[in-house]
Structure 1
Amino acid sequence: MDDLIQLTNKLQTVMSSINAHETLPLPQIVVVGSQSSGKSSVLETIVQRDFLPRGSGIVTRRPLVLQLITIRKPDSVEYGEFLHTQDKKFFDFGDIRREIERETSRLAGDNKGISHMPIHLRIYSPKVLTLTLVDLPGLTKLPIGDQPTDIEKQIRNLLMSYITKSNSIILAVTPANMDLVNSDSLKLARQVDPEGRRTIGVLTKLDLMDAGTNALDILSGRSYPLKLGFIGIVNRSQQDILTNKPMADALKSENDFFRQHSSYRAIASRCGTQYLTKQLNQILFNHIKDTLPELRTKLSSLISQTQHELAQYGDPVLTTGTMHRGSLILRLLTKFANDFVAAIDGTSSEMSTKELCGGARVYYIFNNVFGNALNAIPPCTNLTNNDIRTAIRNSTGPRPSLFVPEIAFDLLVKPQIKLLETPSLRCVELVYEELMKICHYSGNKELMRYPKLHAKLVEVVAELLRERLSPTSTYVESLIAIERAYINTNHPDFMGAAGAMSNLESESRKNKKQETSKRRLTRQSSMNSVSSAVRANGAFIDDDSKSITTITDNLAVAEENGHPTQHDSFLNYFFGGAGKADRPALGPTSETTNGSYQHHAPTLSVSSLMEHEIEKKMEYATIQNGNDGESMYPTSDREEIETQLIRTLISNYFNIVRKNIQDLVPKSIMHLLVNYSRESVQNRLVTSLYKRELFDELLQEDEAMATERSKCKQLLDVYKQAFEIVNTAV
């Protein structure tokens, strides 16, 4: 039993030597209790020595890992050893107390703060049973004096970090002269061990209970059941401590108390500090025995993980010798280039699952960011009707136009195509930025050992990307310039003037039909009202009714037909099919007939083209002529039609160009920037960096990384040593 506990103590010492105790939960007994619960007195009675700091407020401010080791020779000298003082032995237990206070202040300070870093104390004595206990700070409610305001939270978090581990046995200390339901230690233990499987209760101060009361129900397990039970003890009083009452006398007084007490006489053999020590020794032994297979599996896993981590740091031996250094650099260059290409292709094994990156991000830029940016541009944005009419008038010079001038269409559509340039160039920049991000994030732990090499790799790839940025942007600009250089009105998808006019005519007829239907319904409603009025006056006659119906129908037909329909189409109207007198752009014509002038209205007016009479409206447009002021002129019906025609053609042609640009820009970026970079990155790296004169500079190892590798190697050695220790006991 002692050997197995000492083996665990050795394992704990090994793990604590490099602060690795958190990675491996070892079997241990954790002592929990509120301040003034008698927790320190319990430990001192078990050791049978005064060695713990005493005073008001929080005295224990760091976890104390107390390893008790039995010396078989009864006349052997007792002494203690601290892990932080290495092999120094403390024969005076007063010196042990002062060393605990000094080491506590060193890390926790003098302001009553606490620290999670444990103090390891090993005591050798013939009076103790081999045992390991962890003494934790006492629970407190309110800060006192210069204690931190959140001292209760700090202590609770510290205690929880120990008792939540499944391999910890909780020793919950509670004074018997207080109600058990108010016990802070039992409340805390129940949170992590609700079934009470790994909690052992200790009742202190049984001798201070009120007369006529006892804790027999608790000690018998009837009022608060715990699998490991409750054990009652009687500590030394404050007077005994002040008078330095010998521990042997204190133990004798405790035994006498239980044997002579009427309530506890029957269970005296299961009470007292000596019984508590034996129970803890047995409980710890059984617990260690049960958890050793689990510890072995855990250590095996830790060894495997640490070996893998150490492999990531690389072997420092490879940095010596020209051949070794050259092969190392070449391997790292190749790995960096492969990682860069894999990130673009989407074949990297270390891709993020939280956000889009690499090739997926490039795809998103092409299809979402760039596509939405193009679609968000209206074909006729910033293009008012006045702008269109002004362009038409300016393109005709001093004469009125016979047809819609094509030069006006060219002048108006080219600035609209120019609007596609900004989102196209921004698309190039976004892809470039993503490639730069890939470049900076490429690399593994082994490469991180050499910060100068990594910086050079990033610098070379960044320079390559910058070189490709300019020609890619220039080419994308040229795509826009090419589209603006020649307005191809013969494009198979371009509707042309005939298609535009047909659309306008169809839309006009649709609107006219809707208006006619509304008017017919209105007139029918009016006639129905008239008929009702006639009936009301007694003048209802069938013939009159028929007459009213006939009138209604005639009105509807007249409204629907308007003026006589002309057979000339919009196409003939705008492109010369109509007679000279039929062109409103030329104005009313004057012809001499029999020596007199006759004024003829145009035989084909805009109203007949629209198939209904449109009331003439005058629109005054303002044209800004620099500092020359403003000029205002009326707008004709013909110009309204021409404006709508030009706007329709611009929208149609702009959509054709937008579709071309949305297809060609991503292709250009992939060819000139992305594919070129991924195909030439490795050659560029080798050409720029694989030079013997650069080996020494590039392979200067990062000091922090070297320290981490050293710690990792040390941790691996500790895990292997711990595994051997556990292996001997399994």
Structure 2
Amino acid sequence: MDDLIPVVNRLQDVFNTVGHDQIDLPQIVVVGSQSSGKSSVLENLVGRDFLPRGTGIVTRRPLVLQLVNVPKRKPSRRPPVGDEPADSEEELPERAQFLHLPDRQFSDFGEVRQEIQRETERLAGANKGICRTPIHLKITSPHVLNLTLVDLPGLTKLPVGDQPGDIEIQTHDLVMEYINKPNSVILAVSPANVDLVNSESLKLAREVDPDGKRTLGVVTKIDLMDVGTNALDILTGHVFPLRLGFVGVVNRSQQDTLAAKPIQEALRFEREFFRTHPVYRAIAARCGTAHLSQILNQLLMNHIRERLPDIKTKINALISQTEAELASYGAPALSSQVNRTSLFLRLLTQFANQYNASIEGTGAAELGPAELCGGAHLYYIFNGVFGSALDSINPCANLTDHDIRTAIRNSTGPRPSLFVPELAFELLVKPQIKCLEPPSQRCVQLAYEELMKIGQHCGSKELRKYPKLYAKLIEVVSDLLRERVAPTASYVESLISIQRSYINTNHPDFIGGAGALAELQRKAEAQRREVAADASRPLDDPEISDTDSVGPVVGRGRLPGHRGSLSRPRRPQSAASVRASLSHAPFSGAPPQGDKLLNYFFGGGTRADALILPDDAKRPSLPLPSRMKEAAGDVPGALLDPEPTLGGDRDQLETELIRSLITSYFGIVRKSTQDLVPKAIMHLLVNHTRDVLQNRLVETLYKDSLMEELLQEDEALIAERNKCESMLEVYRKAFAIVSETP
């Protein structure tokens, strides 16, 4: 049992060497309000005056105090002098040592007090703020019992002087951090001249230890109670029951401290006070600093004995975790030239294989599970992004009716046109095909960015140990992709230029002139049926308003026969007049006979043939444009009109025909582009990069002059590995110490 506390102290020393509190070691935590006498209790336990004194908050950093009992004397090793025997003994001096000053031992406890003040101000500042970083102090003396105590800042309510405004919250959180640990024994200090129900230390102790299994109460300033009052009910547990009970002590007064009254004299006064007091002499054996020291020693040993198996299990688990972490860092880079070469080639091959596997889909890059990556993202670019971009292009975007009519007029020069010129169609469709180039180039850029992203997310954990090599691999991939992206973009540009260089109107999927005219006729027929349905309604139909007009509307960008409202109200037409107007609606009869009407618009015959009209019984329902009538002789001389106007029936029909032809041919080119551009990107960029990557890596990086530099490990990783090795050594030492304990 006597060896248990030294075992914990040795464990504390072992863990303090690495500056980590990985194990919750058993210790006694001293808690009390400001000026409750905590520091005096600790000094009485040590028997030395070594703690800073003053008004307000003095303890501003946790003080971890290890008390180590050593023999009072040790055999002398000096040779005998005169009649002095050789085995004479010399008294061992009391020593104090700080963790932050491992090479210095203090024998003057006044210097210990000054060092505590300096170390406190170093981190907590010169004001009254507190700091969570503890000060570790070990005192070896033959006059102390083995104990490990933690002195915490006193609990306070209101900030005074230079204290921070939230000093109450800071001290509360700091105290709770220590007493919440299951392996801590709580020493709750309360002054006897203050009502116990107002004790902050007992209040916090009850929050974390409601059963009182690890809380020991200490009542100070018993000698300062009012005359006629005593603390007997408190010490006997009748006021506030604690399983471990209460211990009464008498500390030095402020006047005694200022007068530098020796602690040994104060301890003698304490013994006499309890022994001779008429109320406390019955329990004098259970009061005083000596009894407190013994009971703390016994409590700590019992607590250590109870917690030691758990500590051993925790240390064993930490050893396993640390060994696994150390293995994850891998061994240091090999120094042998042969082994270094083999490692270098293996890393290059590993990176190239992982890059290719990410493209093929047989290996996933290090991305989130909900994110497309590698080849899957390339597929999404080709079919999702690129396909949607092409589908969103309007074949006649930014192409107005006026632009189409102007192109038709410009293509005929000084001569009037007898049919829709093919040159106008080519002039208009080529700029529209050019609209396919920006999304195609964007597809190339997106594929390039995805290939770059694949490279940045490739690389095993072993490879990332060498940041210089990894950065060089990314650089080689970037250079290779930049070399290929320009030819790929140029080829894609050529694909669009090829489509614009020759307009193949004989393409089997092209609608052609006849198809365009038939499509317009179907539209007109649908409109005619709609008009007929409106005309068949009764005249009092509420849907026929005074502002409705039924009949052919000429020009203004509408197809003949389209219904629309005029700007001026009109009287309702009779049913006979509506039917009469329908008889002259375009495409209201049978389709045109022969190719004469098509030849008229699209060529293929003589002008005379184009002007031969069928019989009245076979006359197509399409009314002849005015210029056609003039050419037939109905209006002689009209062809000499120097300023022909746009907007006639023929102009509108020609415009719609051109739009149909552009839409049809644009769809053919768009389908071809959507098929060829991804193929070009895969061939020129993706597959080429995949095929030559490993050879390029070896060619660029496999050099003796670069190998040693590139295989230098990351400094942070080296530091983490060294830290992990140190922690593993600490845990193994701790486990050996615990294993020695029976």
TM-score, normalised by the number of residues in structure 1:
0.78
1:134 matched to 2:133? The reply is: no
Amino acid at match of 1:567: A
Once the two structures are TM-superposed, the CA of residue 214 in structure 1 deviates from its matched residue by: 6.7
Equivalent pair of 1:202/1:233 in contact (CA under 8 Å): yes
Q: Secondary structure of the equivalent of 1:90?
A: coil
Tell me, in whole angstroms, the C-alpha distance in 1 between the residues paired with 2:116 and 2:194.
Answer: 30
Once the two structures are TM-superposed, the CA of residue 717 in structure 1 deviates from its matched residue by: 1.6
Q: Partner of 1:432 in structure 2?
A: 448
Amino acid at match of 1:483: Q
Once the two structures are TM-superposed, the CA of residue 69 in structure 1 deviates from its matched residue by: 1.8
Q: Partner of 1:619 in structure 2?
A: none
Q: Secondary structure of the equivalent of 2:150?
A: strand
Equivalent pair of 2:129/2:164 in contact (CA under 8 Å): yes
Once the two structures are TM-superposed, the CA of residue 227 in structure 1 deviates from its matched residue by: 6.2
Q: Secondary structure of the equivalent of 2:34?
A: coil
Equivalent pair of 1:62/1:114 in contact (CA under 8 Å): yes
Once the two structures are TM-superposed, the CA of residue 93 in structure 1 deviates from its matched residue by: 1.8
Once the two structures are TM-superposed, the CA of residue 175 in structure 1 deviates from its matched residue by: 4.1
Q: Secondary structure of the equivalent of 1:588?
A: helix
Q: 1:347 aligns with which of 357, 363, 366?
A: 363
Equivalent pair of 2:27/2:150 in contact (CA under 8 Å): yes
Once the two structures are TM-superposed, the CA of residue 392 in structure 1 deviates from its matched residue by: 2.5
Alignment of 1:113-192 (within 5 A): 113-141=129-157, 143-147=159-163, 155-156=171-172, 158-178=174-194, 184-185=200-201
1:202-244 CA distance string (max 9 Å, x none): 4544555566777777767777676666655443322232233
Assess, with a 3 A threshold, how the Cα gap between structure 1 residues 504 and 324 changes in structure 2: closer, same or farther: same
1:337 matched to 2:352? The reply is: yes
1:88 matched to 2:111? The reply is: no
Greater helix share, structure number: 1
Assess, with a 3 A threshold, how the Cα gap between structure 1 residues 527 and 38 changes in structure 2: closer, same or farther: closer
Amino acid at match of 2:102: Q
Q: Secondary structure of the equivalent of 2:314?
A: helix
Amino acid at match of 1:716: L
Tell me, in whole angstroms, the C-alpha distance in 2 between the residues paired with 1:115 and 1:426.
Answer: 58
1:135-162 CA distance string (max 9 Å, x none): 2333445555455566555555544544
1:260-280 CA distance string (max 9 Å, x none): 778878876665544544444
Assess, with a 3 A threshold, how the Cα gap between structure 1 residues 698 and 574 changes in structure 2: closer, same or farther: same
Equivalent pair of 1:33/1:174 in contact (CA under 8 Å): yes
Alignment of 1:39-438 (within 5 A): 39-73=38-72, 76-86=92-102, 88-141=104-157, 143-147=159-163, 155-156=171-172, 158-178=174-194, 184-185=200-201, 200-208=216-224, 233-251=249-267, 254=270, 272-316=288-332, 318=334, 320-344=335-359, 345=361, 347-348=363-364, 350-352=366-368, 357-359=373-375, 361-438=377-454
1:380-402 CA distance string (max 9 Å, x none): 32222222222232233333444
Tell me, in whole angstroms, the C-alpha distance in 2 between the residues paired with 1:670 and 1:409.
Answer: 34
Assess, with a 3 A threshold, how the Cα gap between structure 1 residues 727 and 208 changes in structure 2: closer, same or farther: same
Once the two structures are TM-superposed, the CA of residue 2 in structure 1 deviates from its matched residue by: 3.3
Equivalent pair of 2:12/2:25 in contact (CA under 8 Å): yes
The number of equivalent residue pairs is: 674
Tell me, in whole angstroms, the C-alpha distance in 2 between the residues paired with 1:223 and 1:125.
Answer: 37
Assess, with a 3 A threshold, how the Cα gap between structure 1 residues 552 and 423 changes in structure 2: closer, same or farther: closer
Q: 1:558 aligns with which of 579, 583, 595?
A: 579
Q: Partner of 1:694 in structure 2?
A: 706
Q: 2:736 aligns with which of 720, 724, 730?
A: 724
Tell me, in whole angstroms, the C-alpha distance in 2 between the residues paired with 1:651 and 1:672.
Answer: 31
Alignment of 1:656-675 (within 5 A): 656-675=668-687
Tell me, in whole angstroms, the C-alpha distance in 2 between the residues paired with 1:226 and 1:58.
Answer: 28
Amino acid at match of 1:328: L
1:681 matched to 2:673? The reply is: no
Equivalent pair of 1:392/1:404 in contact (CA under 8 Å): yes
Amino acid at match of 1:333: L
Unaligned runs of 5+ in 2: 74-90, 546-571, 602-609, 614-622
Once the two structures are TM-superposed, the CA of residue 296 in structure 1 deviates from its matched residue by: 3.5
Assess, with a 3 A threshold, how the Cα gap between structure 1 residues 355 and 566 changes in structure 2: closer, same or farther: closer
Larger deviation: 128-137 or 267-276?
Answer: 267-276
Q: Partner of 2:84 in structure 1?
A: none
Assess, with a 3 A threshold, how the Cα gap between structure 1 residues 390 and 125 changes in structure 2: closer, same or farther: same
Once the two structures are TM-superposed, the CA of residue 17 in structure 1 deviates from its matched residue by: 0.6
Equivalent pair of 1:516/1:559 in contact (CA under 8 Å): no
TM-score, normalised by the number of residues in structure 2:
0.77
Tell me, in whole angstroms, the C-alpha distance in 2 between the residues paired with 1:213 and 1:349.
Answer: 78
Once the two structures are TM-superposed, the CA of residue 65 in structure 1 deviates from its matched residue by: 1.5
Tell me, in whole angstroms, the C-alpha distance in 2 between the residues paired with 1:567 and 1:135.
Answer: 109
Once the two structures are TM-superposed, the CA of residue 371 in structure 1 deviates from its matched residue by: 4.2
1:462 matched to 2:456? The reply is: no
Once the two structures are TM-superposed, the CA of residue 559 in structure 1 deviates from its matched residue by: 7.3
1:243-270 CA distance string (max 9 Å, x none): 3344345445556666777887887666
Q: Partner of 2:652 in structure 1?
A: 640
Larger deviation: 251-260 or 660-669?
Answer: 251-260
Q: 1:474 aligns with which of 485, 490, 497?
A: 490
Equivalent pair of 2:535/2:578 in contact (CA under 8 Å): no
Assess, with a 3 A threshold, how the Cα gap between structure 1 residues 317 and 514 changes in structure 2: closer, same or farther: closer
Equivalent pair of 2:364/2:373 in contact (CA under 8 Å): no
Amino acid at match of 1:566: G
Q: 1:584 aligns with which of 625, 628, 650?
A: 625
Amino acid at match of 1:331: R
Alignment of 1:617-632 (within 5 A): none
Once the two structures are TM-superposed, the CA of residue 486 in structure 1 deviates from its matched residue by: 3.9
Once the two structures are TM-superposed, the CA of residue 369 in structure 1 deviates from its matched residue by: 4.2
Tell me, in whole angstroms, the C-alpha distance in 2 between the residues paired with 1:237 and 1:360.
Answer: 81
Equivalent pair of 1:527/1:552 in contact (CA under 8 Å): no
Q: Secondary structure of the equivalent of 1:123?
A: strand
Equivalent pair of 1:346/1:358 in contact (CA under 8 Å): no
Once the two structures are TM-superposed, the CA of residue 494 in structure 1 deviates from its matched residue by: 4.6
Tell me, in whole angstroms, the C-alpha distance in 1 between the residues paired with 2:584 and 2:348.
Answer: 84
